Structure 1
Amino acid sequence: MKLRRNVSTVMAIALLGLSLAACSSDKNNNGGSGSPSGSSPSASASPSASPGGSAGASPTSAGTPKEFRFTLVEPPSLDPSLLKDAQSVIVGKGLFEGLTRLNNAGEPEPAVATDWDVSDDGKTYTFHLRNDMKWSNGDPVTAHDFEFAWKRTLSQETASPYAYFLFYLVNGEKYNAGEASADDVGVKALDDYTLEAKLNNATPYFLSLVAHNSYWPEDQKVVDAKPDWASEASTIVTNGPFLLKDWEHNSQLVMTKNPDYFDKDNIHFDQVTITMVEEASTVFNMFQTDKIDWIGAQAGSVPTDQVQKVIADGTAKVQPVAGTYYYEFNTTKKPFDNADIRKAFSMAIDRQAVIDNVTKANQTPAFGLVPPSIAGTGGKKFRELYPDDYFTENVDEAKKLLAQGLQEEKLSKLPAVTLLYNTDQGHKAIAEAIADMWRKNLGVEVKVTNQEWETFLNTRTAQQFDIARSGWGADFNDAINFTYDLIHSKSGNNDGKYSNPEVDKLLDDSLTTTDDKARLDKIAQAEKTAMADDMAELPIYYYTTVTMLKPGFTGVSSDYQGNIDWVYGDKQ
């Protein structure tokens, strides 16, 4: 998932955010430099169970309605088929409900689907849906809404950045490529409350995938009547635990508890107010003056000059999360179509110095794409099995590679280079520090510039950049989510358009490999080729998230992805 906002194909994604998610992500997150993305509570199999861990909603001890307040930057879209950034997904998790919902640990639990059957070969899932769920316009939520939404996400006309997440479905990729019809896609409403999904291959994490926004349902009559139906509070139609009461663009978004939600007794906030703010200093001041209740995990960020202080005095918490902060090279234009030049830029920076002097939140230097917390096999993490020793920082070698790359490109000097980041004090500080390293270590001048979030995302998607900030948070707990999504040529989140047929084949083959160790071996080899041989991306550090929460709140935290988990929170 793109984290900050910024955090794959072919079947891809079969795997999956995180947001990843992140998120997610930017699956690319927009969040601050120290944290990527938040979490969702567990949805129970029965309406009477308590995913949030507490009894029914009640007023605070003072007898007042319960409100929760935090900040985001303006969500570019709330259309499930179009969501690609952590900001939008954080809001979307309150407004929409999929077949499953991921709990705080990233494990799938029943949501719209009460239970499901899986065929012996693992290729056919039959979901049994609740018959008591309503859209906010009063329409019943049915299996037809899921079939419509999945096919809409796959349609070329929709241009969904996460269409590849549904390539797991039979003929999903072919339909997206215009080589099959919608009727050929492996999803079908057998009746109003039974949905069948047919997959190309057994996909062990499919129940996690269907929790992703690309698999959320949509009311067809609403979508058909107004293509931009999800752009205003007055026209959006949702099925989740909250309703969108007000959306004053670039100012404030207000959600209220949905009285028709199946698990309403375990939703405790009467109102959630989100203020649109980009600057970390403004967010911090709002927290200090009691105008918001939370900072962190993609919902605002602690200013870098305050991080060490608030960690030391115990008013903030810091934890590692499944996200990677990196820079994206535009491999479609010179000079970064040259691997040696990309390697030079990556090897010429001091990652630990960035962490010690700029971010100051106990991050870990990154030399690969997959974070240390992502699962491997045999009880070990992916990074325990496959260390990210793909390259080392070496200024002398970087100078040689730069000279070699320029010679290969028949250039006497580098053309003008710009480093683009989305507006945020932390991103600015990192960009300026790294540009200074390039100046001192390589003798090159790099212009540092910023854009507001939505414009930044559009610029990056259109490949109108040289180097751009990015971040990726897990959509689900598997290494494929950090490889297929970021380095497969067919991934809608591969904004730098890196392409290597060998890498594509390894990742594609991993999707059809049934032995887990063999599958991960292919993923690891793909990452190694992309990073050691090609320097497809410029990894900087693996995320931590620094969070602050006002006293009196429970059930609000950062999830494993690094996104705020707020839906099942409570206020005493």
Structure 2
Amino acid sequence: MRIGPVMLPAVMFRRLWMMTVPCWLLLVSCQKETQVERANREKILLVGNSAEPKALDHQRVTGVIESKIISSLFEGLVGDDPENDDGAPPGAALSWEHNEDMTGWVFHLQPEGKWSDGTPVTAHDFVFSYHRLLHPEFAGPYAEMLYFLENAEAFNKSEITDFSKVGVKAVDDFTLELKLREPVPYLPSLTRHYSWFPVPRHVVLQHGKMTDRFTKWSVLPNLVGNGPFKLTEWRFHDFIEVKRNTHFWNAANVGLNGIRFYPIENPYTETRAFLSGQLHTTYQLPSDLIRTVKRDKPEFLRQEPYVGTTFIRLNTTRPGLSDPRVRQALSLTLDRDQICEHIMEGFFPAHSLTPKMGAYEPDQKLTFNPEKARALLAEAGYPDGKGFPVYSILIARPAARASAEAIQAMWSKHLNIRVNIQNRDWGSYISAQQSLNFDMASAGWIGDYLDPTTFLNLWTPGNGNNNTGWSDPKYEALLREAALKAEPAERLALFRQAESMLMDAQPILPISHYTRNYLLRPEVKGWHPLLLDNHPWDAIRIER
């Protein structure tokens, strides 16, 4: 999933934080009851969620920010396990089975599964949902997640027009049959991603055609979901509140009465809110506050592995950036060790795109070599940076400025080129990249499931999350060949070869691998470390 920049500003925000904390504490000391204390009584979880979501129609978005809210409102065929990334508890499906080569799967839906308006959830809803996301007129940015279905890619690219040839079929109201283009042993994990979630056919069609992108079905009071909670309030740039869905098939075991998501973009503001009793958990913790919190409030600090990578996305259609020698020069002058040590505390320098994942570990391709970089830049026609265009690095939040400034300084020092920094709100930041209306962007990607393809499939032509203008038929051929390999070692070897090719081309410049640094109150129970950070909301409890 797409994630906004998380690197943190340094001195200015830290000083502001230190000056304003006493004011917050003074305010709290005058209150009879903090917001958290009241929420504890009411069993309402208060969550910092970084930014305002672009939308709650999960077939129109690609971000982590949106996913946190969406996963409270909707549920896929398979549920999330609160303690194990590889767990596969029942979700919208009660059970499932597959054929010998794992290209055919049958899911049996929950007989008591209902939308939050009481309408039964059926296999026809899933067929409708996959039809909608894959339809070329809808232009869903995450359509590629369904390409595992037989003929899904051909339908999405208008190579065929008959959707009945796509590998999804409602055998009856409660039996869904999926036919895949290749063996996919990790399909249950895939269906936990929101691109595989259903949309309510009966509500979508009340507000327009199936392929209409911007209708009112996914806003109050129209939105209905099949998840453990339902949308009850949305105050723009204030909070989004969801309350327990009494029609949820497992409603009796939902531990919370509701959740309130706060779009607090500044991580210092979010930290103040947490320490003053306004939040149960934060989206992140500024890296320069980690040591202070570890010393003074260790019971709140959480530092956990996270399957993700930060990078600079390049628009390879721009002059200069279209030359792989220039892109390699930019990469070779990034001192990733210094960035992680001084700005991104707790993160690890990236030596390729994909983090180590089980038996998969890519070749270490990324190094720091300014001398080689200057030679490549001169070879590309820009000796000592002369004549190189002045471009801008797009960031989504003030929190990304420190890392962008460090990169800006490194390129100035080692290549004598100048870049500007441009800050935009989350929605326009995403839109600019999707329309290739940008030069460079500070970005990141969190794995959607625990397989290298969650990173490597992004960079294929037409992928809604590519947004670089780069593609290579040889790269695509390696991915296709790997997908057909039954032997895991052979499959992973081909992925390594493909990733090596990607790192030679450098349409993106990986910087670091994530660690989740955040704050969590001890009364929140059922919240366990997870590599994908997909905490099932129905498993969370508040115990005072």
Are 1:70 and 2:47 matched, yes or no?
yes
Give 1:559 shift.
Answer: 2.4
Residue in 2 that maps onto 1:504: 476
* Counterpart among 306, 310, 329 of residue 289 in structure 2: 306
1:549-571 residue CA offsets vs partner (Å, 9 max, x unmatched): 12311112452124555442111
In 2, Cα distance between equivalents of 1:562 and 1:344? 34
Within 1, Cα distance between the matches of 2:226 and 2:493? Answer: 40
Answering whether residue 129 of structure 2 is matched by residue 145 of structure 1, we say: no
Please state whether the residue corresponding to 1:134 is helix, strand or coil: coil
CA distance in 2 between counterparts of 1:279 and 1:209 reads 32
Q: Cα distance 1:205–1:137, how it changes in 2: closer, same or farther (>3 A)?
A: same
Aligned identity (percent) is 30
Q: Secondary structure at the match of 1:273?
A: strand
Q: Which residue of 1 aligns with 2:149?
A: 169
- The size of the alignment, in residue pairs, is 504
Whole-angstrom CA distance in 2 between matches of 1:490 and 1:512: 21
TM-score normalised to structure 1 length: 0.84
Counterpart Cα distance in 1 of 2:325 and 2:125 = 49
CA contact (8 A) 2:130 2:196 kept: yes
Match in the other structure for 2:430: 457
Name the residue aligned to 1:106: 85
Three-state SS of the structure 2 residue aligned to 1:323 is strand
User: Cα–Cα, structure 1 residues 448 and 63, in superposed 2: closer, same or farther, change >3 Å?
Assistant: closer
Does structure 1 retain, via aligned residues, the 8 Å contact 2:149–2:166?
A: yes
User: Which deviates more, 207-216 or 548-557?
Assistant: 548-557
| 8 Å Cα contact 1:559/1:565 also seen in 2 | no
1:419 is matched with 393
- Confirm whether residue 364 of structure 1 aligns to residue 351 of structure 2: no
The answer to whether the Cα contact below 8 Å between 1:267 and 1:568 also exists between their aligned partners in 2 is yes
Corresponding residue to 1:293 among 272, 280, 289: 280
Partner residue of 2:73 out of 90, 95, 102: 95
Letter in 2 for 1:365: P
SS at match of 2:112: coil
Whether the 8 Å CA contact 1:544–1:562 is kept in 2: the answer is no
Deviation at 1:479, TM superposition (A): 0.8
What residue identity is the alignment partner of 1:103? D
Say whether residues 1:524 and 2:524 are aligned partners: no
Q: Structure 1 residue 230: deviation in Å? A: 4.5
Q: Which moved more, 1:263-272 or 1:519-528?
A: 263-272
Distance (Å, rounded) in 2 between the aligned partners of 1:350 and 1:407: 21
The aligned residue for residue 444 of structure 2 is 471
Task: Tell me, yes or no, if structure 1 residue 406 matches structure 2 residue 381.
Answer: yes
Match of 2:187 in 1: 206
Name the structure 2 match of 1:271. 258
Partner SS, residue 183 of structure 1: helix
Alignment gaps of 5+ in structure 1: 5-29, 35-59, 377-381
What amino acid sits opposite 1:342 in the alignment?
R
CA contact (8 A) 1:341 1:406 kept: no
Give the structure 1 partner of residue 539 of structure 2: 568
* More helix, by proportion: 2
Residue 154 (1) aligns with residue 129 (2): no
Point out where structure 2 has 5 or more consecutive residues left out of the alignment.
10-36, 209-214
Find the residue that maps to 2:2 and give its secondary structure.
coil
Deviation at residue 527 of structure 1 after TM alignment: 0.4
C-alpha spacing 1:61/1:452, structure 2 compared with 1 (3 Å): closer
- 1:374-397 Cα offsets, whole Å, 9 max, x none, are 122xxxxx12xx43x213101111
Letter in 1 for 2:327: R
- 1:503 and 1:466 mapped to 2: Cα distance? 23
Is the counterpart of residue 535 in structure 1 residue 519 in structure 2?
A: no
Residue 90 of structure 1 and its aligned partner are, at CA, apart by 0.6
Query: Take 2:287 and 2:401, find their aligned partners in 1: how far apart are those partners?
Result: 11
Checking the alignment, whether the CA contact within 8 Å between 1:556 and 1:566 is kept in structure 2 is no
Question: What is the aligned counterpart of 1:554 among 520, 525, 538?
Answer: 525
3-state secondary structure, aligned to 1:110: coil
The structure whose RCO (Cα within 8 Å, separation 6+) is larger is 1
Normalization by structure 2: what TM-score?
0.89
Classify 1:556/1:279 alpha carbon distance in 2 versus 1 (closer, same or farther; 3 Å).
Answer: same
Structure 2 counterpart of 1:207, which letter? P
Confirm whether residue 247 of structure 1 aligns to residue 234 of structure 2.
yes
The aligned amino acid for 2:42 is P
Summarize the Cα distance change of 1:61–1:565 in structure 2 as closer, same or farther, 3 Å threshold: same
**How far did residue 33 of structure 1 move?**
5.8
For the Cα contact (< 8 Å) 1:419–1:447, is it kept in 2? Answer: yes
| Distance in structure 2 (CA, Å) of the matches to 1:358 and 1:61 | 36
User: Counterpart of 1:20?
Assistant: none
Match of 2:323 in 1: 338
More deviation, 306-315/214-223: 306-315
Is the contact between residue 78 and residue 230 of structure 1 (CA under 8 Å) also seen in structure 2? no
1:80 Cα shift? 2.3
169, 177, 182: which one pairs with 1:188?
A: 169
1:19 is matched with: none
Q: Aligned partners of 1:211 and 1:357: how far apart in 2?
A: 36
Letter in 1 for 2:145: F
Q: Does 2:414 align with 1:441?
A: yes
TM-fit CA distance, 1:478: 0.6
Aligned amino acid, residue 375 of structure 2: K
| Contact residue 489 and residue 498 of structure 1 kept, 8 A | yes
- In the TM superposition, residue 338 of structure 1 has moved relative to its aligned partner by 0.7
The answer to whether the 8 A contact 1:83-1:213 is kept is no
Letter in 2 for 1:192: D
The AA in structure 1 aligned to 2:395 is Y
Distance, in Å, in 2 between the alignment partners of 1:350 and 1:562 is 28
2:309 & 2:538 partners in 1: Cα distance?
25
Structure 1 range deviating more: 473-482 or 104-113: 104-113
Matched AA of 2:368: E
